[in-house]
């Protein structure tokens, strides 16, 4: 299957993407001929059993890894055709990341972490937008703190602000609530959902958690590097049922 074609247009899409690891004798096909679209202004979750290729797909979509075959298009740009320097610049300018491990710079304050991608690009933040993101994430009184002085939930909110501040084409989130308690998880997922609804952001999120996936508009299910099923407007129960079928 190739998944629903989104009429509002794809923010990012793959064409017959394959990714193999190892040598001829030990070859593992992490992704096989995967063609899928991620609609602009939509929140898509990627699920599947361990080893099904979720992280590999996310990394190929985000230009963090190169497919062995096929193409990845971010908007109209064929990411797979770019040299490393251009790809690094494209990632910096067009893509936001939220990882399970927060990945904040320990020596920088929360505010410096949030504006880091813009600083690296030599761009000034749009102050009104920065204020909106900071207040939506309730970080106003934490901006001068360093990551070690923040809770896990607060650190992940800083990481979300950093991902959003440049108004990227796509935010990629890899298990963003994997290290958080249920309250902080709900905050982060609620924010990602709100960023899609209110700000028109595009979000692609890998998760193991049916409750997290239920915040998305659409859930894709991978197994053995292939797209096996898809749910629109999912509930946690429907996601759980689908996961059981895949297992
Ligand atoms: N660098 C690598 N070298 C060799 N094999 C790899 C590498 N990265 C991933 N794989 C293999 O590719 C397959 C897909 O891995 P991937 O990490 O994408 O799965 P996943 O669905 O994200 O798994 P999990 O839910 O456990 O994180 C697995 O069989 C994995 O062992």
Which protein residue's CA is at the shortest distance from atom 29 of ligand 1?
Answer: 51
Tell me if 23 CB under 6 Å of ligand 1. Answer: no
Spell out the per-residue pLDDT of the chain, length 247, in tens. Answer: 555 555 458 999 999 999 999 888 899 999 999 999 999 999 999 999 999 999 999 999 999 999 999 999 999 999 999 999 999 999 988 999 999 888 999 999 999 999 999 998 899 999 999 999 999 899 999 999 999 999 999 999 999 999 999 999 999 999 999 988 898 899 899 999 999 999 899 999 999 999 999 999 999 999 999 999 999 999 999 999 999 998 7
Q: Which residues of 188-211 are buried (b: 16+ CB within 10 A; e: fewer)?
A: bbebbbebbeeeebbbbbbbebbb
- Give ipTM to 2 decimals: 0.97
Q: Please give the pLDDT value at position 4.
A: 56
Atom of ligand 1 lying closest to residue 225 CA: 14
125 CB under 6 A from ligand 1? no
Q: Residue 121: its pLDDT value, please?
A: 87
Distance 28 CA to ligand 1 centre (A): 9
Whole-number Å distance, alpha carbon 126 to ligand 1 midpoint, is 38
Atom of ligand 1 nearest to the CA of 206: 22
CA–CA gap between residue 162 and residue 147 (Å, rounded) = 13
pLDDT at residue 9, rounded to an integer: 80
Give the separation between CA 176 and CA 98, rounded to whole angstroms: 6
pTM: 0.93
Task: Find out whether the beta carbon of 53 lies less than 6 Å from any atom of ligand 1.
Answer: yes
């Amino acid at each position: 299957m190739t998944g629903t074609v989104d009429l509002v247009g794809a923010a990012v899409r793959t064409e017959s993407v394959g990714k193999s690891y190892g040598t001829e004798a030990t070859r593992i096909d992490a992704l096989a001929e995967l063609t899928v679209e991620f609609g602009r202004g939509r929140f898509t979750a990627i699920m599947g059993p361990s080893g099904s290729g979720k992280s590999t797909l996310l990394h190929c979509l985000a230009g963090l890894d190169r497919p062995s075959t096929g193409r990845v298009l971010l908007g109209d740009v064929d990411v797979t055709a770019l040299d490393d320097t251009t790809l690094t610049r494209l990632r910096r300018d067009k893509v936001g990341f939220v990882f399970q491990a927060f990945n904040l710079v320990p020596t920088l304050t929360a505010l410096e972490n949030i504006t880091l991608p813009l600083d690296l690009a030599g761009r000034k933040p749009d102050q009104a937008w920065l204020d909106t993101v900071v207040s939506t994430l309730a970080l106003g009184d934490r901006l001068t703190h360093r990551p070690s002085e923040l809770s896990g939930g607060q650190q992940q909110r800083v990481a979300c602000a950093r991902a959003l501040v440049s108004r990227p084409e796509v935010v990629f989130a890899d298990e963003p609530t994997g290290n958080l308690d249920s309250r902080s998880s709900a905050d982060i997922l609620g924010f990602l959902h709100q960023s899609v609804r209110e700000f028109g952001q595009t979000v692609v999120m890998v998760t193991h958690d049916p409750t997290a996936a239920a915040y998305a508009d659409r859930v894709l299910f991978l197994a053995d590097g292939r797209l096996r099923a898809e749910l629109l407007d999912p509930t946690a129960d429907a996601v759980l049922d689908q996961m059981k079928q895949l297992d």
